[in-house]
Amino acid sequence: MEKEQQILNFIKLNPYISQQELADEVGLSRPAVANYIKRLIASGDIKGRAYILNDHSGVTCIGGANVDRKSHALQDVRMESSNPVITDESLGGVARNVAENLVRLDLKPTLATFVGQDKEGAWLTESAYKIGIDTSEVTTLPQSRTGTYTALIDRNGELVVSMADMEIYNKVSEQLIEQKWQQYARSDVIFLDTNISESAIHAVIRRSKSNQKPLFLDPVSSIKAKKLPGDLSGVHTIIPNKEEAEELSGITINSANDLGKACHELLRRGVKQVVVTLGEEGIYYCSNDEEGKVGAIRTEVADVTGAGDAFTAGIIYGFINGQSLQQACRFGLACATLTLQSNQSCSEDLSTGKIITLLKELS
């Protein structure tokens, strides 16, 4: 076993190392090394040519990771005027938040985001690693600044206005995605938000289709939803809000019937599952096999920020664990509920146990 572990360690350092080089390193004959490698392949520790290590993560989350600055109003917000607030600083970004929530749901996410060579980028990377997110695919772009998101929250916990400095994501090119795709594709599921450039988004969708990787996509905003291609057949599940669904489908949504039409238009464009988030009204889900509405769970709202990301993580959890679309939506709504109760974008109380308990109480 000692020699076997030594061989595995050398392969981790250099997946393209030859059997003769391995033999020289560990003091064995080449045929003996070949036998060890056969056993490692049989056990699933390595696979394929170049000794690709079978240490994939459950979900690769591609997209935004930002420093969030939230200002909470101390009185009714007055536009075009100075407002007294209390400001706190935390870490956010759609892909980062989804990854953190997946960790809390006992899954194995890899964060594939893009940061500057600055203190914000170091903070994002180090904190993600400390909570259990695989940060091996975080890319530093030295000539760019790490993204920031600044929000004004009213006394009811509702978002008044937000400002996003996301210029770094325009530097994420199709070529960069292609260079990193082999690493991304080692996961079972891909999650993508639309913060990165249009060409990079198209590359992820195209590659997910060709590799038959389930791709879960958050359009982020109606403006960013315009980056998506007409052909969405590389997308397994898309999770827009009402405004984004209108933008993507070209259908104005004024009723449940309109919701159904918008969802079926997205199915026609190739998506396998559509889940439209409707805030206090819950969600509307649609696939070729299931369609319906699930009401929101009533709760005290501390802050709405991050609730959608928790919902998305719950949907992905449901898919990975073989739940129906309706079951996954209920699980996601429970995740969102716990997050709404927290002042944090990602609730530290989130866990599979607490979600299951909450769902049992509601059934």
Q: How wide is the angle at C-alpha 327 spanned by C-alphas 320 and 321, nearest 5°?
A: 20
Task: Name 171's Cβ contacts closer than 8 Å, sequence gap at least 6.
Answer: 114, 141, 143, 144, 197
CA distance 266 to 353: 34
Whether 77 and 154 have beta carbons less than 8 Å apart is answered as yes
Closest by CA to 250, choosing from 237, 268, 277, is: 268
Residue at 49: amino acid letter = R
Residue 183's nearest CA partner among 102, 62, 97, 96 is 62
Question: Which residue's entry shows tokens 């997910």?
Answer: 208
Residue pair 309/162 in contact (Cβ under 8 Å)? The answer is no
Q: Which letter does DSSP use for residue 169 in this model?
A: G
Exposure class string for 60-77: b at 16+ Cβ within 10 A, else e? bbbbbbbbbbbbbbeeeb
**What angle separates helix 19-26 from helix 30-43, to the nearest 10 degrees?**
100
Q: Please say whether the beta carbons of 50 and 17 come within 8 A.
A: no
pLDDT tens string, the chain, 363 residues long: the values are 678 888 877 777 666 677 777 888 888 887 777 778 877 777 777 665 555 444 455 899 999 999 988 899 999 999 999 999 999 888 999 999 999 999 999 999 999 999 999 999 999 999 999 999 999 999 999 999 999 988 899 998 899 998 888 899 999 999 999 999 999 999 999 999 999 999 999 999 999 999 999 999 999 999 999 999 999 999 999 999 999 999 999 999 999 999 999 999 999 999 999 999 999 999 999 999 999 999 999 998 888 888 999 999 999 999 999 999 999 999 999 999 999 998 888 999 999 999 999 998 887
Q: How far apart are CA 203 and CA 124, in angstroms?
A: 25
Determine whether 330 is exposed, middle or buried from the number of CB atoms within 10 Å of its CB (0-12, 13-18, 19+).
Answer: buried
pTM, to two decimals: 0.79
Provide the pLDDT for residue 147: 95
Task: Please give the single-letter amino acid code of residue 302.
Answer: A
